[in-house]
């Protein structure tokens, strides 16, 4: 075994249990690694490895194997003998097919294979009964097998950056999901069942699809913290979204929205609201109820006026109003106690509001 790798070995009670060998530009593995039968964690990410030796299957105690950012086009069948393996990381390789041997790893809880060239997932994917985290984004998927929806223990699922055209209602079976990424696909609709995922709390990405509407059932996701619906074709939103009491960040930029539901004023936990690049001509006065809002991005819309109730946004620090059709702004903006930046560029105000001088005097950056 080379001196460098020998120096990296981590021992516990005199036994080698870990080898962190990431980023060493390795194009192969020394056979001596196969003798480290007590190895628990092997990190070979960011190397130049094109294939794994068959002896990898002899590392019977291995629980974590990281092979991200190599040049692998496949895995040996012997990988299926790693009965103790819980995490397998294969992001950023050149896999064109799903390695069948992986299906032998019934105890696997984490499988990351983002950024490969895989065109389909196996019809018997549900053999991975212990799977909790699956990342298959950045591949060449156009559909997903029904077996995926039988993996009811999944807590995170990433299918972004594929060419998937449909997500069936069976996704409602994944009631343990906390994170779901379906962004950058070719979806024209999402099923009502998406609103029936009670543990979806961390994030839901639906950006850059062809969505023209979202089901009212999304309003039932009242524990969700982050919702991204950017870069779609949405012309309106259901009032039920105002029931998403847990939302902290809501991104809706680059759609076709002409207005904002009045119910948004009930999003009491919201800190960021991104509405840039729509066709919004008027804001509801109820937005003044967003007492936790820090950032309000309204750039590139059609606003001609602002509601006086914005003065009640006492936590607001950044207000972006660039490129609207504003002729005046309410003097009450001067009452915003925490405003740090107000951007009014590319509007044509009729006169210079005193509120701007008041804000500048207080230290707020005002751009005209």
Query: Does the pLDDT at position 220 exceed 60?
Result: yes
Taking residues 90-114, report their average pLDDT.
Answer: 98
Query: Does the pLDDT at position 153 exceed 70?
Result: yes
Structural tokens at position 297? 């991005």
Q: For residue 2, with 0-12 CB atoms within 10 Å meaning exposed, 13-18 middle and 19 or more buried, which class applies?
A: exposed
pLDDT at 11: 87
* Contact in structure between 26 and 44 (CB atoms under 8 Å): yes
pLDDT at 344: 97
Considering only 218-232, 287-301, 348-362, which range has the smallest mean pLDDT?
Answer: 348-362
Among candidates 352, 276, 263, 358, which has minimal Cα distance to 319? 276
Query: Does the pLDDT at position 4 exceed 90?
Result: no
How many Cα atoms are found within 13 Å in the side-chain-facing hemisphere of 315?
Answer: 15
Integer Cα distance of 115 and 138 in angstroms: 4
pLDDT at 331: 93
H or E element that contains 272: strand 272-274
Give the chain's end-to-end CA distance (angstroms, integer): 65
Considering only 24-38, 242-256, 285-299, which range has the smallest mean pLDDT?
Answer: 24-38
Query: Does the pLDDT at position 116 exceed 80?
Result: yes
pLDDT at 16: 87
Integer Cα distance of 208 and 186 in angstroms: 8
Q: Which has more confidence, 367 or 10?
A: 367
pLDDT at 14: 85
pLDDT at 301: 98
**What percent of the chain has a predicted confidence (pLDDT) above 70?**
99
Integer Cα distance of 213 and 94 in angstroms: 36
pLDDT at 1: 52
Residue 258 banded pLDDT, cuts 50, 70, 90: very high
Residue 8 banded pLDDT, cuts 50, 70, 90: confident
Report domain extents, the chain.
1-164, 167-221+229-243, 257-368
Among candidates 155, 159, 175, 177, which has minimal Cα distance to 167? 159
Q: Does 167-221+229-243 match 257-368 in CATH topology?
A: yes
Query: Does the pLDDT at position 7 exceed 70?
Result: yes
Apex 308 CA angle, 307 and 314, nearest 5: 110
pLDDT at 61: 97
Average pLDDT, the chain: 96
DSSP label at 138?
S
Taking residues 167-193, report their average pLDDT.
Answer: 98
Query: Does the pLDDT at position 357 exceed 70?
Result: yes
Integer Cα distance of 143 and 150 in angstroms: 15
User: pTM higher than 0.85 for the full model?
Assistant: yes
* Contact in structure between 161 and 184 (CB atoms under 8 Å): yes
> Which residues contact residue 325 at a Cβ distance below 8 angstroms, ignoring those fewer than 6 apart?
302, 303, 304, 347, 348
257-368 folds as 3.80.10
Integer Cα distance of 315 and 317 in angstroms: 6
Question: What is 167-221+229-243's CATH superfamily?
Answer: Ribonuclease Inhibitor (3.80.10.10)
pLDDT digit string (tens) for 52-92? 999 999 999 999 999 999 999 999 999 999 999 999 999 99
pLDDT at 6: 80
Options 3.90.650.10, 3.60.20.10, 3.80.10.10, 3.40.50.300; which CATH number does 1-164 get? Answer: 3.80.10.10
pLDDT at 3: 58
* Contact in structure between 177 and 158 (CB atoms under 8 Å): no
């Amino acid at each position: 075994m080379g001196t460098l790798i020998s120096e990296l070995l981590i021992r516990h009670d005199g036994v080698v249990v870990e080898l962190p060998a990431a980023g060493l530009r390795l194009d192969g593995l020394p056979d001596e690694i196969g003798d480290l039968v007590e190895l628990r964690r092997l990190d070979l990410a960011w190397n130049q490895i094109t294939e794994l030796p068959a002896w990898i299957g002899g590392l019977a105690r291995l629980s974590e194997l990281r092979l991200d950012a190599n040049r692998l086009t496949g895995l040996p069948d012997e990988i299926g003998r790693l009965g103790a393996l819980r995490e397998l990381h294969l992001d950023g390789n050149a896999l064109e097919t799903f390695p069948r041997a992986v299906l032998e790893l019934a105890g696997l809880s984490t499988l990351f294979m983002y950024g490969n060239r895989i065109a389909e997932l196996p019809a018997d994917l549900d053999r991975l009964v212990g799977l909790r985290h699956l990342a298959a984004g950045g591949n060449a998927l156009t559909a997903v097998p029904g077996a995926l929806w039988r993996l009811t223990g999944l807590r995170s699922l990433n299918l972004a950056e594929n060419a998937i055209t449909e997500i069936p209602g069976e996704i409602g079976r994944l009631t343990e999901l906390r994170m779901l990424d379906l962004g950058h696909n070719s979806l024209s609709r999402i099923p009502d069942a998406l609103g029936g995922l009670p543990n979806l709390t961390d994030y839901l990405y639906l950006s850059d699809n062809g969505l023209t509407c979202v089901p009212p059932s999304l309003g039932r996701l009242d524990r969700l913290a982050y919702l991204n619906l950017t870069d779609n074709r949405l012309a309106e939103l259901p009032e039920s979204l105002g029931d998403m009491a847990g939302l902290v960040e809501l991104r809706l930029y680059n759609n076709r929205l002409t207005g904002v539901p009045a119910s948004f004023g009930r999003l009491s936990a919201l800190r960021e609201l991104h509405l840039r690049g729509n066709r919004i001509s008027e804001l509801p006065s109820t937005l003044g109820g967003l007492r936790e809002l820090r950032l309000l991005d309204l750039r590139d819309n059609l606003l001609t006026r602002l509601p006086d109730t914005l003065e009640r946004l006492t936590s607001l620090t950044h207000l972006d109003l660039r490129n609207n059709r504003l002729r005046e702004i309410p003097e009450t903006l001067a009452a915003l106690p925490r405003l740090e930046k107000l951007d009014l560029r590319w509007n044509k105000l009729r006169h210079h509001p005193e509120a701007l001088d008041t804000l500048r005097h207080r230290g707020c950056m005002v751009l005209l």
